[in-house]
């Protein structure tokens, strides 16, 4: 049995019919494409190239199996906080897409939760198949189903149009960052 970072049943809360965007060829969380499966991150995904996939998005550095397992365990034990999802090409046994929903617990808005989408990536080889769109739409709807009062994400200005198709809009806030490590 697979060890998932969150229970797969959580993905069944997604009301796909309420999505904001249209998909070709019946693409959905239950049907991401031929030989593809959309699911939570599994402990076994270290061996399926999950960390390598992330390196197409940003600098990852060397991540050992032990480090991966420790971080996986930490995320899993933070019940209801980390929803790391992946798309696997089951024919190749390879993770080809991933995105994360982080649910922050707040005191504001009557102790509500805020959702943040992060680390959206689709393998260079699989781009143009609406998989990034699927990842963002599914996590946006999951955040709504989990009761988040708002969803947010950070992106470059050139990606605004893509994210606006899911109902996101620039809010005029300016983010600042301070890095302590590369």
Residue 1, pLDDT score: 47
Buried b (16+ CB within 10 A) or exposed e, 90-120: eeeebbbbbbbbbbeeeeeeeeebbbbbeeb
Domain boundaries defined on the chain: 8-164
* Domain 8-164 CATH assignment equals 1.10.540.10: no
Model pTM greater than 0.85? yes
In terms of Cβ atoms closer than 10 Å to its own Cβ (0-12, 13-18, 19+), residue 23 is: middle
State yes or no: pLDDT of 171 exceeds 90.
Answer: no
Reported as a single tens digit per residue, the pLDDT across 66-107 is 999 999 999 999 999 999 999 999 999 999 999 999 999 999
């Amino acid at each position: 049995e697979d060890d998932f970072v969150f229970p797969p049943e959580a993905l069944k809360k997604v009301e796909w019919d309420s999505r904001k965007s249209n998909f070709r060829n019946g693409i959905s969380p239950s049907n991401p494409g031929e030989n593809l499966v959309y699911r939570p991150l599994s402990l076994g995904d270290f061996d399926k190239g999950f960390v390598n996939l992330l390196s197409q998005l940003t600098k990852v550095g060397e991540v050992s199996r032990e480090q991966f397992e420790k971080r996986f365990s930490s995320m899993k034990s933070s019940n209801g906080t980390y929803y790391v999802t992946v798309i696997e090409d089951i024919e190749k046994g390879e993770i080809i897409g991933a995105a994360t929903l982080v649910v922050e617990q707040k005191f504001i808005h009557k102790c509500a939760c805020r959702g943040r989408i992060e680390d959206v990536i689709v393998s260079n080889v699989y781009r143009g198949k609406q998989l990034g769109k699927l990842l963002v739409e599914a996590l946006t709807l999951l955040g709504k189903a989990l009761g988040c009062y708002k969803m947010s994400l950070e992106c470059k200005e050139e990606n605004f149009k893509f994210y606006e198709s899911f109902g996101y809009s620039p809010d005029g806030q300016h983010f600042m960052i301070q890095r302590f490590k590369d």
